Chains A and B, each alone.
Chain A
Amino acid sequence: MTALEACVDGIGLVGPGIANWPDGARMLTGETPWVRSPTRLPPLQCLPSAERRRTGAVVRLALTAGLEATERAGVDAARLPAVFTSSGGDGENCHEICQVLASADRQLSPTRFHNSVHNAAAGYWGIATGATAASNALCAYDASFGAGLLEALTQVVVEGTAVLLIAYDASYPEPMRSARPIADAFGVALVLSPKAGAASLARVVTTLGRAPADRMPDAALESLRTSIPAARSLPLLAQLARRTAGSVVLDYLDGERLTVQVRPCL
């Protein structure tokens, strides 16, 4: 059984009722109760104003999580390769395009079109941070977090480089929302590195497995975990927040799960 090992050097988190990682960590350890409220995304200062006007909430979501993780890790975002993973990308933009294409005139806005690519967040991330290393844009439906984690870990292990993983998902508007209900916006980012450093929070060792996925003990947080694909990461985040050694099982593909052993760095 191949084990993929890396250190977690920084975490970014934003979601319903969660403003950032320390905020989320307090809720995941039970120090403060989690109360669902609509995800609030701060304005993005890192993009030139022309680009900022062109970006939707989904890009803001991904970049907010990514910037928090790199700041907490104390690394220069411009130097890191990045792995973006999302089940649906920008659903709002997709809806607008489909609506125009179903109308009589079919005149698409060029900005809508270039924002429709699944790697739009990765593209804006490069423009915002100046990162010229490889970036990836993945999708694995409900398994998107797990797929992103595996891609990021294989980069850490094989290329021997630190990698930024950003998993993010946001709601579709109707009528797509009924076909694919995603409760709200949720973004999580991890800076993963090959060697423990001053910023390292924990060492994580990941293997493929078939044990049933962990559920959140708190019913409200469990509903958050299952209602947004990127929130399938919550058991791992909770273990990291506890700052204790332990093992969690994350949902991945049908019939396959990821087991992640977490050992805090002192």
Chain B
Amino acid sequence: MKALALTSFTATSCIGRGVEATLAALRERRTGLERCAFETVTLDAFVGEVAGVDEAPLPPELREYECRNNRLAQLGLVQDGFAEAVRRSAGRHGRERVGVFLGTSTSGILETELAYRRRDPASGALPAEFRYRGAHNTFSLAAFAREALKLAGPAVVISSACSSSAKVFASARRAIEAGLIDAALVGGVDSLCLTTLYGFHSLQLVSRGPCRPFDLARDGISIGEAAAFALLEPAGASLDGDAVLLLGVGESSDAYHMSAPHPEGRGARAAMLAALETAALDPSDIEYINLHGTGTPSNDEAESRAVSGVLGTQVPASSTKGATGHTLGAAGALEAVICALALRHGLMPAGVNTNEVDPALAVHYLLENRAAPLSRVMSNSFGFGGSNCCLIFGRGG
């Protein structure tokens, strides 16, 4: 595939607002996970909650889109001059030539959950202020971003559970390569809500402590929330060493089970091989892997089999979910931005919270940060329904 440049990128999660704060937290190996005190949730769990989301209302002209998910989206869009970069891009290409490809699994479902508590006792009706299109519908995130940034090109939400905002890179890349658009706003936003907290709990997939990916004693995920975005544009002829490129994308389906990965990591393997093929790279070219690494016993086991099968056992790897929590529909984009920071700053971030790597998992899991110039890194994202996506990023110059 033709490489695309991430001409601007940003991330906001429980470890910080914007790339400087995110990078500092990774350098300091800080986790943002705290005991769950979200809304009225009474689960024994840790969550990665972004501070101040409720205190950041949308501007009046965008009030139709009010919900926690879009507030978090707005908070994320204004960090690092990202919204400005998108506006400049729209100025260069024309606002109908900039597409919007965003991932979310939650959208504004929290608003619906709260509205169901306030149904009319007689008729059962939802409160009059319930807004379906702007808050509940899965597309609300892309509709909000498109309107907030005054874009007029194609727009879509991809909602394939925890691979959503990795897959947006693949779809945006195709739209650019097909000539449908010249640039794309890609990213993901997922926010805390009762559906995911109680839902993962019902599957007994939530740890009672902060999640410990790849640890011998790992026992489940910690749910987080995040907004992460990148602006994808064709890579120009003169790229400096600071430029971050999307080099490869690979997608696959497990065709196995709705909520459990294929035990041998069959789909994960296929996605990684496809990403290497589109990037025209060999396995030995990959210098760091940002693992999906959710921290459930079976996910990490399946992923380690897939990774060792494709890349061998020596490539340094880590999951950053011990720091950020599993941000579900935002995880792909958040970890893409972490990969971009890894490339730009020569940092392989250690997996935090993990003390003793499970010896049964055949990957070179980093327990300490490692500084080294990096030129090619890989990021894995796998979701319910067996939806897999692997992205490869590299440095320009």
| Chain A residues at the B interface, C-beta cutoff of 8 Å | 2, 4, 51, 54, 78, 81, 87-89, 94, 97-99, 101-102, 106-110, 112-120, 122-124, 126-127, 129-141, 143-144, 147, 150-151, 153-155, 157-159, 174-176, 178-180, 208, 253, 255-256
Contact = CB atoms under 8 A, between A and B. Distances in A.
Interface stretch (B23-31, B209-217, B249-257): B249-257
A208 B255 contact: no
A93 to B, nearest CB: 11
Given A134-B170, A143-B155, A154-B174, 6 more contacts: A113-B203, A114-B385, A136-B167, A138-B156, A139-B139, A179-B130
Contacts of B136: 179-180
Interface residues of B, number: 64
A4 B178 contact: yes
Contact of A150 (B159, B179, B180, B201): B180
Given A106-B194, A140-B142, A158-B177, A101 B113 contact: yes
A136 B160 contact: yes
B215 to A, nearest CB: 24
Contacts of B138: 88-89, 118, 139
Contacts of B142: 140
B139 A129 contact: no
B386 interface: yes
Listed from nearest, the 4 A-B pairs whose CB atoms lie closest are: A123-B385, A113-B199, A134-B251, A118-B159
A119 B385 contact: yes
21 contacts: A2-B179, A2-B180, A87-B137, A106-B198, A113-B195, A114-B203, A117-B105, A117-B161, A126-B253, A132-B252, A132-B270, A135-B160, A137-B159, A137-B160, A137-B385, A138-B159, A143-B155, A154-B175, A154-B178, A179-B132, A255-B152
A130 B198 CA distance: 30
A23 to B, nearest CB: 30
Interface of B: 96, 105, 109, 112-113, 116-117, 119, 124-126, 130, 132-133, 136-140, 142-143, 152, 154-161, 167, 170-171, 174-175, 177-180, 194-195, 198-203, 251-259, 266-267, 270, 383-387
A54 B167 CA distance: 26
Contacts of B171: 136, 151, 154
Contact of B159 (A51, A117, A123, A180): A117
Nearest to B143: A141
B33 to A, nearest CB: 22
A133 B202 contact: no
B257 A127 contact: yes
A139 B251 contact: no
A98 B135 CA distance: 15
Contact of A138 (B112, B157, B195, B266): B157
A154 to B, nearest CB: 4
A212 to B, nearest CB: 17
Contacts of A143: 139, 155
B99 to A, nearest CB: 9
Contacts of A120: 258, 385
B203 A117 contact: no
A253 B154 contact: yes
User: Of A4, A139, A147, which is in contact with the most chain B CB atoms at under 10 Å from its CB?
Assistant: A139
Contacts of A116: 195, 199
B7 to A, nearest CB: 21
Given A108-B198, A132-B255, A179-B130, A147 B154 contact: yes
Contacts of B137: 87-88, 139, 141, 180
Contacts of A157: 174, 178
B310 to A, nearest CB: 16
B126 A139 contact: no
Nearest to A87: B137
B253 A133 contact: yes
A113 B384 CA distance: 10
B156 A151 contact: yes
A205 B138 CA distance: 28
Given A102-B116, A117-B161, A117-B385, A256 B156 contact: no
Given A109-B202, A119-B161, A157-B178, A132 B126 contact: no
Given A97-B195, A118-B159, A130-B255, A176 B132 contact: yes
A129 B137 CA distance: 29
